[in-house]
Structure 1
Amino acid sequence: MQSSSSLFPVALTSAERRGDLSEDVYRLKPGNSPDGTVELAVTRLGLADVQQTRGVPVVLLHGSFSNRRFWYSPEGIGLGAYLARQGFDVWIPEMRGHGLSRRNQDYARNCVADYVRYDLPAIAAFVGEQSGQVPHWIGHSLGGTTLAAALGGQYLAGPTVASAALFGCQVSRTYWPLKIPPVAWGGRFILKRFAQLSGARLKRGPEDEPVGLVLESMRWHGLFGRFGDAERDWWKGLADVAVPLLAVSAAGDRQDPDWACRKLFEQVGSEHRQYLCLGRRQGFAGDFGHVEMLVSKAAQAEVWPLVKRWLRDPLTPVTGAHPQVLATD
């Protein structure tokens, strides 16, 4: 089969019409990482009857224990579908071993460092090639953390990022037991006996997560840990990020609390950045939760239009009917 890209082998595995939307699923084989078996599934959404006028590209990164269905349900509901109907060119990657992306040979060792060094740059190159434009990026939870790491590590920069939006994303919450070396050593010893953690068994989501990602997170939060890898300090690098940034927290989020999300936001050095907390005190109908901030009827009514407004003009404050949005220039 002829490749759909001049960059690396890419196969168009399906091209379907889903109601008023078109759904094209690509399988990327970048071959840029030590594990040559890595394949990444990327779904492209657009309006079925407007094939020749693709809009501005937007890349949506799912969180942990999740897949593309966080953004786009089989019934055609979700932020991804909403943005496609608003005329955006929507791209939804699934990380190694998630959803339609096959498990690679070294699946158990997969971690954020692999995502940011190899996978996101490959996705950015492919989306840029196919769309002919610089994409906007949106990440939720671990997807946002991965996006922040790629920006801080300069694996994604101005030529590949028009703007970045982080939803429910933080790396500052303290897990005190991990600061005690014997506890951390014991935890790593036990975890290394497993290849993955079950999202279904833990009631966290439909997907498993590789144990390598958990061990990496433990290093970040350990006694002398930092948000980065052996090569680069991602946290320090965030101060040099120049792309427009939107950071969004949820007042009812217990997993990634507002104060921690705000701390990450304040570390980013972008001249154009905005911070938004979704809660009653900020003028919203209720205190959103970690998932409900993007997947709920309330999000559909109150959050999705703000995302659309941000993508159309990241340099204008996303205040709308909620004047307590914090914007800095």
Structure 2
Amino acid sequence: MQSSSNLFPVALISAERRGDLSEDVYRLKPGNSPDATVELAVTRLGMADEPESRGVPVILLHGSFSNRRFWYSPKGIGLGAYLARQGFDVWIPEMRGHGLSRRNADYRKNRVADYAQYDLPAIGAFVREQSGQVPHWIGHSLGGITLAAALGGQYLGEPAVASAALFGCQVSRTYWPLKIPAVEWGGRFILKRFAQLSGSRLKRGPEDEPIGLALEGMRWYGLFGRFGDGQKDWWAGLSDVSLPVLAVSAAGDHQDPTWACRKLFDQLSSEHKQFVCLGREQGFSGNFGHVEMLVSKAAQAEVWPLVARWLKDQQSPLLASGSELAAAS
């Protein structure tokens, strides 16, 4: 099959109409990482009756134990579908071993470091090639952390990113037991016996996660841990990020609390950045949760329009001035 890209082998594996939407699924084989078996599925959403009318590209990165369905349900509901109907050119990658992306040979060793250094740059390059424009990026939870790692590690930058939006994203929450070396070592010893963590057994989501991610996280939160890999300090690198950034927390999110999300936001030196907390005190209908901040009827009515406004204009405040947890600079 002829490649759909001049960058690396890409196959269009399906092209379907889903109601009023068009759904094209591509399989990318970048060949840019030590594991040559890595293949990534990327879904492109558009309007079925307006195939040539493609707006500004937006790349949506799912979180842990998840896949493309977080953004786009089989019934055509989700932020991805909403943005496509708003005229955006929507791209939804699935990380290694998730959804339509096959498990690579070294699946159990997959880490954020691999996603950030190899996969996101390849996805971004393909989207730029196909759309002819620089994409906006939106990440939820682990997707946001991966995006932050790619920015802090300078694997992605302004030539490849128009703006970045981080939902429920933080790396500052303290896990005190991991500060005890014996506990961390014992945890590593036990985890290394497994290949993956089961999303269904843990009741976290439909997908599994490679054990490499858990081991990487333990290193970050250990006694002398840092947000980075052996070569780069991603946390320090975030202070050099100057592109427009939106950070969103949820008042009812106990997994990624507002104070920790705010700390990551404050590390960024962007001239145009905004922080929004989704809670009653900020004028929202309720205190959103970690998933509900993007997947709920309330999010559909209150959050999705904010996202569309951000993508159209990164300089105007999303919330009324004076809100304690909505800052624009």
The answer for the alignment partner of 1:317 in structure 2 is 317
Q: Which amino acid aligns with 1:173?
A: R
Q: TM-score, normalised by structure 2?
A: 0.99
Q: Which amino acid aligns with 1:101?
A: S
User: What SS does the corresponding residue of 1:201 show, helix, strand or coil?
Assistant: coil
Q: Distance in 1 between matches of 2:3 and 2:149?
A: 30
Gaps of 5+ in 2: none
1:324 Cα deviation (Å)? Answer: 5.2
Q: How does 1:38-77 map to 2 (within 5 A)?
A: 38-77=38-77
The answer for the alignment partner of 1:174 in structure 2 is 174
The answer for the alignment partner of 1:194 in structure 2 is 194
Q: Does residue 1:7 correspond to 2:14, yes or no? A: no
1:317 Cα deviation (Å)? Answer: 1.1
User: What SS does the corresponding residue of 1:188 show, helix, strand or coil?
Assistant: helix
Query: 1:40-77 CA deviation, whole Å, 9 max, x = no partner?
Result: 00000000011111000000000000000000000000
Q: Distance in 2 between matches of 1:284 and 1:50?
A: 34
The answer for the alignment partner of 2:262 in structure 1 is 262
Q: Distance in 1 between matches of 2:178 and 2:320?
A: 42
Q: Distance in 2 between matches of 1:264 and 1:203?
A: 27
Q: How does 1:169-318 map to 2 (within 5 A)?
A: 169-318=169-318
Q: Does residue 1:122 correspond to 2:122, yes or no? A: yes
User: What SS does the corresponding residue of 1:277 show, helix, strand or coil?
Assistant: strand
Cα separation, partners in 2 of 1:322 and 1:282, compared to 1, 3 Å: farther
The answer for the alignment partner of 2:78 in structure 1 is 78
The answer for the alignment partner of 1:37 in structure 2 is 37
Q: Which amino acid aligns with 1:286?
A: G
User: How well do the aligned residues superpose, as a CA RMSD in angstroms?
Assistant: 1.1
Q: Which amino acid aligns with 1:251?
A: A
Instruction: Give the percent of matched residue pairs that are identical in Structure 1 and Structure 2.
Output: 81
Please say if residues 284 and 322 of structure 1, whose CA atoms lie closer than 8 Å, have aligned partners that are also in contact: no
**Which 4+ residue blocks in structure 1 deviate beyond 4 angstroms?**
320-325
1:322 Cα deviation (Å)? Answer: 9.6
Q: Which amino acid aligns with 1:98?
A: H
Query: 1:288-314 CA deviation, whole Å, 9 max, x = no partner?
Result: 000000000000000000000000011
1:231 Cα deviation (Å)? Answer: 1.0
The answer for the alignment partner of 2:163 in structure 1 is 163
Please say if residues 282 and 322 of structure 1, whose CA atoms lie closer than 8 Å, have aligned partners that are also in contact: no
Query: 1:242-268 CA deviation, whole Å, 9 max, x = no partner?
Result: 110000000000100000000000001
Q: Distance in 1 between matches of 2:304 and 2:115?
A: 26
Please say if residues 283 and 322 of structure 1, whose CA atoms lie closer than 8 Å, have aligned partners that are also in contact: no
Cα separation, partners in 2 of 1:72 and 1:320, compared to 1, 3 Å: farther
Q: In the comparison of the two structures, how many residue pairs are matched? A: 329
